[in-house]
């Protein structure tokens, strides 16, 4: 693998918050990806600390990952790092009740959430605090005012929303300006291009894509014979059914072809494509492996000419992506308000 490049910083919109062009999503270290038996806290802590040494300053977690375990893991990992050089993002507003995920943004719930996150992260403030899913029973203006109060108290410095509609983003931003919006975004999921990304550009809000590698599919390490552990979210995602994986391998072939042309890996091509879409985009790919971490960072050295980017995107768009990204229960939690 070539030398690891210096990681540029990007401003999330016009917020004054600068993050590494590639962040580190920590969810899979404790939750939802892979098997519980394969998770290794010690190794994950090493990955987080090495990420910082290599130039990543942007680390993403959430209260629901575990729950709580992922925040505790990140808190331990950063306890030896200079806090003022880190951008720590966590999320609140999703809870598992009676076996179902529900969104809850009542003020007292959010108050309890931020206090718990601060303790688990071993910090006095969170740099970027997201509403993980929009609670349709609480006006987003009220949520924004709660977040503004947290900022006045010094508990958070910036706030954001995840999987929110453009209408919700506008309403929230009018009360307390948003620093960032999270959504899935990759070569395989392009919905944010229709309305969300143009709106964020207009309002001066940053965009933090999760799953920029298509939940691992664009790494070219998954095929129709891949078996997912029962605790791996992909085991229940329509896009990762055996038939849909087989159909979508043609998409991976295009990524592999571009990787060969650019002397890069498929992962690096997929990440470079995401970061090429706008200067206010900072994706947060996850990994538990040092070699994958270095590979992801290496994506910042991959550059496309305008013609290369346009042709590659056109060729990708000529193929269909088979299978929904979420089953019905998870899709129901995505904010579609107008």
**Lookup: tokens for 88:** 């720590």
Q: Which of 76, 46, 58 is nearest to 22 (CA)?
A: 58
Are 55 and 7 in contact by the 8 Å Cβ rule? The answer is: yes
β pairing state of 18-20 and 9-11: antiparallel
Q: Which SS3 state, helix, strand or coil, does residue 149 take?
A: helix
Residue with tokens 């085991």: 235
Are 234 and 228 in contact by the 8 Å Cβ rule? The answer is: yes
How far is 202 from 204, CA to CA, in rounded Å?
Answer: 6
How far is 302 from 321, CA to CA, in rounded Å?
Answer: 25
Distance separating the N- and C-terminal Cα atoms of the chain: 47
Q: Which residues contact 65 (CB under 8 A, 6 or more apart)?
A: 26, 27, 30, 31, 32, 71
**How many residues would you count in the chain?**
338
**Lookup: tokens for 189:** 């999921």
**Any catalytic annotation for residue 65?**
yes
How far is 312 from 304, CA to CA, in rounded Å?
Answer: 10
Catalytic position from the list 65, 129, 130, 185:
65
Catalytic center residues: 65
């Amino acid at each position: 693998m070539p030398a690891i490049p210096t990681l540029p910083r990007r401003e999330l919109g016009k917020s004054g918050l600068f993050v590494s062009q590639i962040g580190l999503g920590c969810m899979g270290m404790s939750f939802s990806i892979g098997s519980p038996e394969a998770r290794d806290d010690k190794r994950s802590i090493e990955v987080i600390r090495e990420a910082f040494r290599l130039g990543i300053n942007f680390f993403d977690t959430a209260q629901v990952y575990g729950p709580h375990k992922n925040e505790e893991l990140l808190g331990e990992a950063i306890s030896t790092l200079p806090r003022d050089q880190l951008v720590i993002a966590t999320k609140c507003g999703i809870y598992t009740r009676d076996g179902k995920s529900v969104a809850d943004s009542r003020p007292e719930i959010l108050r309890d959430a931020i206090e718990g996150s601060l303790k688990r992260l071993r910090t006095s403030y969170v740099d970027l605090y997201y509403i993980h899913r929009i609670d349709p029973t609480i006006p987003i203006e009220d949520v924004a005012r709660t977040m503004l109060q947290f900022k006045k108290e010094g508990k958070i410095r910036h706030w954001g929303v995840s999987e929110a509609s453009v209408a919700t983003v506008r309403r929230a931003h009018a009360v307390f300006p948003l620093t960032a919006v999270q959504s899935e975004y990759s070569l395989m999921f392009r919905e944010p291009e229709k309305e969300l990304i143009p709106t964020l550009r207009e309002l001066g809000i940053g965009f933090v894509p999760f799953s920029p590698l298509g939940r691992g599919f664009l790494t070219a390490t998954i095929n129709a014979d891949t078996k997912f552990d029962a605790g791996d979210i992909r085991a229940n995602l329509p896009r990762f059914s055996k038939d849909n994986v087989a159909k979508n391998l043609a998409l991976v072939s295009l990524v592999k072809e571009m990787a060969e042309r650019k002397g890069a890996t498929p992962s690096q091509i997929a990440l470079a494509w995401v970061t090429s879409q706008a200067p206010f985009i900072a994706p947060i790919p996850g990994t538990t492996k040092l070699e994958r971490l270095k590979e992801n960072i290496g994506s910042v050295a991959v550059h496309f000419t305008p013609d290369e980017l346009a042709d590659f995107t056109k060729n990708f768009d000529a193929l269909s992506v088979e299978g929904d990204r979420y089953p019905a229960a998870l899709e129901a939690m995505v904010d579609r308000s107008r």
